Amino acid sequence: MKKLLVVTGGTKGIGRAVIEKFIAHDFDVATCARKPDELESLKQQLESSYKGNRVFTTVADLSDKMQVKSFTDFVLELNRPVDVLVNNAGYFVPGSIATEPEGTLESMMNANLYSAYHTTRGMVPAMKKNKAGHIFNICSIASIKAYANGGSYAITKFALLGFSKCLREELKADGIRVTAVLPGATKTASWDGVNLPEQRFMKVEDVAEMIYAAWSLSTRSVVEEILIRPQLGDI
């Protein structure tokens, strides 16, 4: 049986790049997103390009706890070991704590932190039974560096890094590896409209390459954090 990669928010950006990297190495994939047409396009493209590999998709908005449960139930009903879980779902809106719209922190907490928390809680019991698996949480440079326009986004990413550290300590005896991924400015939809040359951004494929490399180590080793920045520095 092929290994199974689970990615939240897998139709674009880093999530899509991770899926393409792992499926190229003969993984099957389970993923979710909010737009059914994008999920169907992903499934058709990948299953056409990689004959014999399966892409399991379902619509879910992981800022909603009940939809997180629907997604984790969907994955568990495949009755397959989860070899790699990538908590990627989330979004970025710049702003300052004092002036951002009311409710910004709550909505970003739901999307950027609670989605990973509840997805992990749904998957971990089965991973513990198998005494194996690797969890990647897509954090950010904003998990370790404060920005004047980081606002609620930075708060949630600091919290996601803390979640990763706690999870690693809890799961190490169960044979489950946990890696926090801290990318700097990466060319994704979050930066649409920003008037900067493409060369100032990292490629999503580079982030995916590092995630795959960390997974590829023997189970006797774990890369606890992947910190990757644009060559020319932070934006």
Superfamily name with CATH number, domain 4-89+116-139+161-182+204-228: NAD(P)-binding Rossmann-like Domain (3.40.50.720)
What's the confidence (pLDDT) of residue 190? Answer: 67
Write down the domain spans for the chain: 4-89+116-139+161-182+204-228
pLDDT in tens, 46-63: 999 999 999 999 999 999
Confidence of residue 226 (pLDDT cuts 50, 70, 90): very high
pLDDT in tens, 59-94: 999 999 999 999 999 999 999 999 999 999 999 989
Alpha-carbon span 111 to 156, nearest angstrom: 9
Mean pLDDT, the chain, as a whole number?
A: 95
**Buried b or exposed e, range 125-140, using 16+ CB within 10 angstroms:** ebbbeeeebbbbbbbb
pLDDT in tens, 10-30: 999 999 999 999 999 999 999
